[in-house]
Amino acid sequence: MTAMSMHEPTPADVAAAQRVLAWSLARLADREAVLPPAAATTLPGLSGRGIGIEAAIELLLGVVLPTAVPPDHPRYLAFIPGTPTVASAIADMALPAATVYGGSRLEAGLAADAEDAVIRWLADVAGFPDSAGGTFVSGGSIATLSALVAARGERYLTSSRQVIVAGASAHSSVAAAAHVMGCECLAAPPADDYGRLTRETLAVALDGRDADNVVAVVATAGATNNGAIDDLAGVADLCGDRGIWLHVDGAYGGAALLGSRARPLFTGIERADSFIVDPHKWLYAPFDCAAVLYRDAAAVRRALTQEADYLDWLAAEGGDNPSDLAIHLTRRIRGVPLWVSLQAYGWDAYAEAVDCCFAIAAYAAEQVSRRPHLELVLDPALTVLLVRRCGWGSADYDAWSAQALQRGLAFAIPTRHAGETVLRLCFVNPLTSRDDVDLVLDDLG
């Protein structure tokens, strides 16, 4: 094997590619066949001479990938599942071969325009003005960090703004971003059992604080643990009154803006200064794909654009670049698979899928209420259910979750609410059926 031969397809490479394509389509056609995951084994070591493409692909398809826990299984109900559409998965296959550098508009070509079209669609869904813009990053954590750095405004650590205020149900990435930025993360008192942030609790947190010392207020539009949506309108009112940047974390819940059931709960999001949503969650794009949007994209570019001698020509020739709107330079064109999927199916299909998830979550809540040994801890806020199995303690939940995965029944894990261990079920996969729900709930005894 020579260095040159690694970059020129051989007949063996062609055969391997055909095998990968056939395997991929079969995998997408039968997502239920991937539980339980295969047991891990010892992988062979790397060698100077290599083992050839056939053997390497055999290791990948036959040994490595089967050990992963698949987020697109209909009974993957842990964390936030991810179920890419067939069109988005196929599009994602082409991107590495195309070798598109997504940091600059000049190099990305129309791929940058395709991403922009999706950003504009998301901005319209949220009610953002024509001045809005954004980009795609790896996940909600980087999206949040980018938005908060933009909120501080300066490129270097000379700002007097050193406090980030968030609600009790805020995602852990907010505190992580504050730590990276050298800021204090101030938690407002919870307004209710969901930990919501309201105008009143935000006022308590800000009492005695100089607004000029606050980087941003972070409101949650779909808490990961329980689905709660903060009082976005009330929080926006207070942020507007005090001149404080409002960032809305819709990494999980933002897709619910497309559905008919929850849209009123998002009133006020159109007044945010920044907003994030993860298409690899409830918008059915492949991992890893998060969108960060800003009300005033031009101002954000002034805060985030990297400067270097070797970038000057590119900036002059390419204009505004995707890399200017987050804390990155090199990037892949993560938004293109979503663009392909939207082109293929239209956004009405996405709205239908979101409503389908609300319907299955409502069915699950009803079925919990019909079983005397199960209780809902909270009324569902979006599509997350917290379920109490009467008589169980932490060890019981842990044991059931481990056994359910080993048996191929489901991947559903416990969480904690108000100090109590409970079972958490998240429904964002339109392939999850009533039979799937019944199978899981019946297994709880």
DSSP 163-230: EEEE-TT--HHHHHHHHHHT-EEEEPPPSSTT----HHHHHHHHTT--GGGEEEEEEEBS-TTT--B-
Q: Residue 240 pLDDT more than 50?
A: yes
Calculate mean pLDDT across residues 97-108: 95
Asked whether residue 50 is domain-assigned, the answer is: yes
Same domain, 175 and 48: no
Pairing of strands 290-294, 274-277: antiparallel
- Domain extent, residue 32, equals 10-68
Mean pLDDT, all residues of the chain: 95
d(CA 415, CA 400): 13
Asked whether residue 1 is domain-assigned, the answer is: no
Q: Residue 50 pLDDT more than 80?
A: yes
- 419: domain CATH number is 3.90.1150.170
Same domain, 140 and 273: yes
d(CA 372, CA 394): 20
Q: Which residue has the tokens 């199978």?
A: 439
pLDDT in tens, 329-359: 999 999 999 999 999 999 999 999 999 999 9
| Spatial CB neighbours of 360, under 8 Å, sequence gap ≥ 6 | 383, 427, 432, 433, 434, 437
Same domain, 219 and 134: yes
Q: In the structure, what pLDDT confidence band is assigned to residue 316 with cuts at 50, 70 and 90?
A: low
| Spatial CB neighbours of 101, under 8 Å, sequence gap ≥ 6 | 107, 108, 330
Asked whether residue 292 is domain-assigned, the answer is: yes
pLDDT in tens, 244-264: 999 999 999 999 999 988 999
Last residue of a domain, one of 317, 345, 373: 345
Asked whether residue 163 is domain-assigned, the answer is: yes
Calculate mean pLDDT across residues 15-39: 97
- Give the pTM: 0.96
Asked whether residue 82 is domain-assigned, the answer is: no
| Cβ atoms within 10 Å, residue 326 | 25
Same domain, 288 and 359: no
| Spatial CB neighbours of 24, under 8 Å, sequence gap ≥ 6 | 89, 93
160: three-class secondary structure by DSSP:
coil
pLDDT in tens, 132-180: 999 999 999 999 999 999 999 865 455 678 999 999 999 999 999 999 9
- 220: domain CATH number is 3.40.640.10
Same domain, 283 and 318: yes
Calculate mean pLDDT across residues 112-130: 98
d(CA 396, CA 429): 26
Contact in structure between 68 and 37 (CB atoms under 8 Å): yes
Please measure the distance between the N-terminal and C-terminal CA atoms of the chain and give it in whole angstroms: 58
Count structural domains, the chain: 3
Torsion of CA 251, 254, 259, 262, to 10 degrees: 110
Same domain, 212 and 287: yes
Same domain, 138 and 258: yes
Same domain, 162 and 212: yes
Same domain, 323 and 400: no
